[in-house]
Amino acid sequence: MLPRLTLNRFSLLLQPQTPLYLPGYKGSTLRGGFGYAFKKVTCADPNPCKDCRLPEKCVYAYVFETPPPAAADVMRKYKAAPHPFVILPPLTPKRRYAVGDELGFDLTLFGRALDYLPYFIYSFEELGRAGIGQGRGRFHLKEATVHDGNGGQERVYDGDKKVLKTARATLTSDQFLDPVSSRDSTLTLHFLTPLRLISDGQLAKEIPFQLLFRNLIRRIALLSYFHCDGDPSKIDFRELIQKAESVKTVKSRLEWYDWERYSTRQQTRMSLGGWLGEITYQGDFSEFLPWIRLGEWTHVGKGTSFGLGRYRFDLAMERPCHDPR
């Protein structure tokens, strides 16, 4: 059983109009520039968000400062919601993009944020006019496509004609369910962007499955509750977390990756390092696999809107020792 979640992933293609000079990890530049452009596009109040006179009607406030429902009867201890979007930067270390090159990245939207796709598209157009990276290189948003639900792509935005269409396909959490048993299996998670998990108030130095899974189901539950009108209280999270303790770590090839970003809003440099590489677990994943599969779309840990905590997984069934094959 998974909580209610609606989502989809869009692929945006940028064409530099002047040379772009970007860092090796581009998630911070795309996310920081997008936040600035999104506020400019959607917010008419020059006052800080805490002094906003129309927070319930403001698109920017919903996306970046999602308030808890006034009549919340579950998850009341959470004063802030996860952002309803994830930016997936390209994983290439390429730093310089010349005029004539192309730069592509993905954008995943959750719940009501799907209705605000035009604001996201226009914000990246605005960012292209303002410029990003060293020297404020400018770009043109050539197109945006969306997963059509059948393994293909459907164009939803033509940047040359300035035509935006409604995305017809939307994924739901039910599509990530799998009735196939995965007992006695090994699960390998390949972390493609830095993973940051908090344990006892500090960044975790080890990643046991129980810690990873606890963070993952909390993130999915919060996305469901705050953005998709879901009711996660129907799921026995305590029992799932207890069962996760039986999963053992059999191999870890994680390495720490350091990187920083400058926060214009907080006027300070922020350290956002995390774990890269792969880790392998062994156990019965029958109840955990739908969450793991959905987590490839939601990411896990801190800094997910920057693209952190992105992974892919491999599952291998253990063969009995008497199997002649």
Tokens of 225: 């509750």
Q: Which residue has the tokens 């157009």?
A: 125
- Whether residues 158 and 215 share a domain: the answer is no
Residue 311 sits in which domain range? 173-317
Strands 153-158 and 85-88: unpaired
Note whether residue 323 is domain-resident.
no
In a domain, 324, yes or no: no
Mean of the per-residue pLDDT values of the chain: 88
Q: pTM for this one?
A: 0.91
Give mean pLDDT, residues 186-208: 94
pLDDT value, residue 201: 87
Q: For residue 153, what is the domain's CATH number?
A: 3.30.70.1890
The H or E element that residue 27 is part of is helix 27-42
> In CATH, what number is assigned to the domain containing residue 258?
3.30.70.1900
Are residue 157 and residue 107 in the same domain, yes or no? yes
Give one DSSP letter per residue of 69-135, joined into a string.
Answer: PTT--SSTT--S---SEEEE-------EE-TT--EEEEEEEEGGGGGGHHHHHHHHHHHHHH-BTTT
Q: For the chain, how long is the longest CA-to-CA vector? A: 72
pLDDT tens digits along 266-325: 556 667 789 999 999 999 999 999 999 999 999 999 999 999 999 999 999 765 444 434
State residue 323's pLDDT score.
Answer: 44
**Rounded to whole angstroms, how far apart are CA atoms 258 and 247?**
29
Whole-number Å distance between alpha carbons of 95 and 26: 9
Q: Are strands 185-195 and 311-317 parallel, antiparallel or unpaired?
A: antiparallel
- Domain presence at residue 325: no
* Cβ 6 vs Cβ 142: under 8 Å: no
| Contact (Cβ atoms closer than 8 angstroms) between residue 237 and residue 222 | no
Same-domain pairing of 149 and 193: no
Domain total in the chain: 2
Residue 122's pLDDT is what? 96
My answer on whether 218 and 244 are in the same domain is yes
Distances (CA, A) of 54 to 60, 76, 122: 11, 23, 22
Which backbone phi and psi does 303 adopt, to 5 degrees?
75, 30
Question: E strands of the chain, at which residues?
Answer: 6-16, 20-21, 85-88, 96-97, 103-110, 139-147, 153-158, 163-164, 171-172, 185-195, 198-199, 202-203, 248-257, 260-263, 268-271, 274-283, 311-317
Last residue within a domain, chosen from 152, 172, 192: 172
**Stretch 91-95: mean pLDDT, rounded?**
93
Strands 202-203 and 198-199: antiparallel
